[in-house]
Amino acid sequence: MVAVTPQDDARLRYAWRVCAVTSLGLILIGIAGSTLNVALPTVVRHFHADATGSSWILLSFLLVNTASLVFFGRVADLLGRREVYLAGFALFTLASLLAGLSPDVWFLIAMRVLQAVGAAMILANGTVIITDAFPPDRLSQGMGVYIGTLSVAQLLGPTLGGLIAETAGWQWIFWVNVPAGLVALGVGAAILRKMPRQPREPVDALGNVLVFAALSALLLALSSAGTSGPFSPVVLTGVGVFAVLVPLIYLAERRAPNPVLDLRLFGGRLLACANLASFCNALARSALILVVALYFQAARGVDAFAAGLSVLPVPVGIGLASPLVGMLGRRVSPYALSIGGAVLSAAGLGTLLLTADPATPYWVIGIGLFVAGCGSGTFLTGNTTQVMGALPSGSLGVVNGFRVMVMNVGIVISVGLSLSVLTASVGPELRAQVYAGTLSRLSPVAVGQLMDGFRVAYAVLFGVALLGAVLAALARPGRAAAGRDPAPR
């Protein structure tokens, strides 16, 4: 039995305080996203937004957040992780305040972009701060609690968003972030210690621009496919630009002295398969609350508050699974947890696919959502622990930013693809009513058409979840050394 020294005990106490601070950040961002997923129809009705404006209220945040994660991972390595992390809280809080004052939908979208920048500064650094604070043998416990707090946010968010939308007004969907952001900023400034800075090196500006342009083109194509058709000029142009930029990104990053996407760090099979599995899991799970909330409002005709209550099994499942899996992390390998979580996620989505109908009893839908939530909580804890444990310590900031960016690309594609599939099932004149949650007031024919879209969306997400389980199985721990020792260029 190994004796615990006072230094070890002090480090562990500090690690749990760090976990509390970073969890506050995750709760703040999680609530901000999940409240809007449920309350989106209320915001759309207030601004009389068309289908394009409605979708970009969500997509603008996802795009900018995803494209800037690696950038702020590098900036934090150079300027200080604590400083960038706290600045993210300040910017996110200010943008939330201004979003509630929006005079029109496009000003709101601009404030969502600022929120996204602040969120990227937080997300790119939270996991690294935890990894640095915890002893290796306790990292899975800390990560389990950290990931589990996301479920708290998603648990509170849908219900809170529905309640706010029905009572206080849409502005408070954003203003509720302000006091929470101020508390997180103050607590973080008091607790977090400064971390060693990396040597000052130039930021890969060209790489950041190319990545942002590629993601923008892909997202524009996905979001326009449902409205304009898969072979419209906008869609074909977006796909073409993306196809051209991908090899340019590869060439630029191979030559950059400090690449935003350091491909050497992902040459091993463990990291490559684990990150691709994370991408698939994010794509499969991320639009679930949004899609189900739209299902209850657009197909069943319930209000925002009732829709928020209906999606609670997802965050409940994440909340139960994540800390439990964290406690099991010292006995069960992260590899096994990743596979089990991916399989559970696929099982939950398969249940929703097989029972997609306006008359399906809620308890059946609730089981599917709960199983999918348990799968996500299990996978996220296992996968994050596996990846972070295989990374070289000197590159944690950039590589974690890339890890989160890969996951967020899945989120972006998930939301864009799901909305596109759903709205493609109804005529152009009805698409705005899907976002506004008023389609059920029309005819059973319109609702039937929309249900076809839900079935296709569930089928796509189910297939991607299965692929994620296969990739998780390929990320064998025996290959970890390949991830720790980057291959030469």
Locus of tokens 């590869």: 250
Same domain for 227 and 265:
no
Is residue 199 in some structural domain?
no
| pLDDT band, very low/low/confident/very high, at 94 (cuts 50, 70, 90) | very high
pLDDT, residue 285, reads 78
Write out pLDDT tens, residues 371-380: 998 998 888 8
Same domain for 225 and 150:
no
Same domain for 106 and 119:
yes
Same domain for 337 and 384:
yes
Write out pLDDT tens, residues 16-66: 888 888 888 888 887 777 677 777 778 888 888 877 777 788 778 877 887
How would you class 423 by CB atoms within 10 Å of its CB: exposed for 0-12, middle for 13-18, buried for 19 or more? buried
pLDDT, residue 114, reads 94
Burial letters 472-485, b for 16+ CB under 10 A, else e: bbebeeebbebbee
Token reading at 128: 């690294």
Same domain for 139 and 30:
yes
Residue 262 CA to residue 281 CA, distance in Å, equals 23
Segment (H or E) for 215: helix 205-228
Write out pLDDT tens, residues 181-227: 898 888 888 888 776 665 556 667 788 788 778 877 877 777 666 56
Residue 292 CA to residue 308 CA, distance in Å, equals 9
User: In this structure, what CATH number is given to the domain that contains residue 119?
Assistant: 1.20.1250.20
Same domain for 182 and 233:
no
Print the SS3 string covering 325-387: HHHHCCCCCHHHHHHHHHHHHHHHHHHHHHCCCCCCCHHHHHHHHHHHHHHHHHHHHHHHHHH
Same domain for 234 and 99:
no
pLDDT, residue 367, reads 93
Residue 339 CA to residue 281 CA, distance in Å, equals 11
Percent of the chain with pLDDT over 70: 78
Same domain for 210 and 172:
no
Is residue 2 in some structural domain?
no
Kindly write down the DSSP assignment for every residue of 454-488, as one continuous string: HHHHHHHHHHHHHHHHHHHHH--GGGHHHHHSPPP
Between 127 and 456, residue with greater pLDDT: 456
Is residue 298 in some structural domain?
yes
| pLDDT at residue 422 greater than cutoff 80 | no
Final residue of a structural domain among 238, 255, 272: 255
What's the mean pLDDT in 304-327? 78
pLDDT, residue 478, reads 61
Write out pLDDT tens, residues 264-280: 656 677 777 888 888 88
Kindly write down the DSSP assignment for every residue of 123-175, as one continuous string: HHHHHHHHHHHS-GGGHHHHHHHHHHHHHHHHHHHHHHHHHHHHTT-TTHHHH
> What is the Cα Rg of the chain in Å?
21
| pLDDT at residue 406 greater than cutoff 70 | yes
Range of the domain at 318: 9-193+256-484
pLDDT, residue 370, reads 93
Residue 480 CA to residue 383 CA, distance in Å, equals 13
Between 412 and 341, residue with greater pLDDT: 341
C-beta separation of 66 from 409 below 8 A: yes
Of these ranges, 1-5, 51-55, 109-113, 143-147, the one predicted with the greatest mean pLDDT is 109-113
pLDDT, residue 113, reads 92
Between 84 and 399, residue with greater pLDDT: 84
pLDDT, residue 328, reads 74
Same domain for 389 and 335:
yes
pLDDT, residue 204, reads 72
| pLDDT at residue 409 greater than cutoff 90 | no
Percent of the chain with pLDDT over 90: 12
Give me the helix-helix angle, 105-133 and 362-389, nearest 10°: 50
| pLDDT at residue 487 greater than cutoff 50 | no
Q: How far apart are the first and last CA of the chain?
A: 44
C-beta separation of 146 from 303 below 8 A: no
Total domains present in the chain: 2
Is residue 1 in some structural domain?
no
| pLDDT at residue 405 greater than cutoff 70 | no
Same domain for 362 and 223:
no
pLDDT, residue 475, reads 82
pLDDT, residue 264, reads 61
Same domain for 370 and 230:
no
Between 134 and 85, residue with greater pLDDT: 85
Same domain for 244 and 102:
no
